[in-house]
């Protein structure tokens, strides 16, 4: 017999719920690719129905047999979050004093 304490049912349930939420969470960015056919269009339509928006122009290439297309989609919340992060970074830069050495290449890239 093991002397190890039994696992708490609440802990196990919480772990399962966290794992399930992580696997079901939507990705902020997706690149959908495939042959230029009805199935591809249905996949894009499904992403739009899930709340994604088109990001950038579609791309197309020829693989020697078929036209292969790609379309990026993003969640609007992801765009808003990224825009807010950039705005905060710009504001923080605006609050710093720079001298001529910093501007003339004395800083690090």
- Tell me which residue has tokens 């939507």: 26
Joined tokens for residue 5: 């304490």
Whether 28 maps to a domain, the answer reads: yes
pLDDT in the model for residue 74: 96
Q: Give the DSSP H or E segment for 46.
A: helix 38-49
pLDDT in the model for residue 108: 57
The one-character DSSP state at 105 is: I
Q: How confident is the model at residue 37 (pLDDT cuts 50, 70, 90)?
A: very high
pLDDT per position as a tens digit, 58-98? 999 999 999 999 999 999 988 888 778 888 888 888 777 66
Whether 97 maps to a domain, the answer reads: yes
Per-residue pLDDT at 15 exceeds 70:
no
- Tell me which residue has tokens 């036209």: 67
Whether 5 maps to a domain, the answer reads: no
Q: What is the pTM of this model?
A: 0.57
Give dist(CA 101, CA 104) in Å, integer. Answer: 5
Domain range enclosing 19: 10-106
CB distance 46 to 68 below 8 Å:
no
pLDDT in the model for residue 91: 83
Whether 1 maps to a domain, the answer reads: no
Whether 3 maps to a domain, the answer reads: no
Whether 4 maps to a domain, the answer reads: no
Domain count of the chain? 1
pLDDT in the model for residue 4: 46
Whether 76 maps to a domain, the answer reads: yes
| Residue 76, C-beta contacts closer than 8 angstroms, at least 6 positions apart | 51, 53
């Amino acid at each position: 017999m093991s002397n190890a304490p039994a696992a708490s049912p609440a802990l196990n349930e919480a772990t399962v719920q966290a794992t399930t939420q992580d696997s079901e969470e939507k990705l902020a960015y997706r690149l959908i690719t495939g042959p230029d056919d009805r199935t591809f269009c249905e996949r894009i339509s499904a992403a739009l129905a899930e709340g994604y928006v088109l990001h950038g122009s579609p791309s197309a290439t020829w693989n020697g047999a078929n036209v292969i297309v790609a379309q990026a989609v993003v969640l609007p919340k992801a765009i808003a979050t990224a825009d807010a992060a950039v705005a905060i970074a710009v504001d923080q830069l605006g609050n710093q004093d720079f001298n001529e050495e910093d501007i003339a290449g004395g800083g690090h890239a």
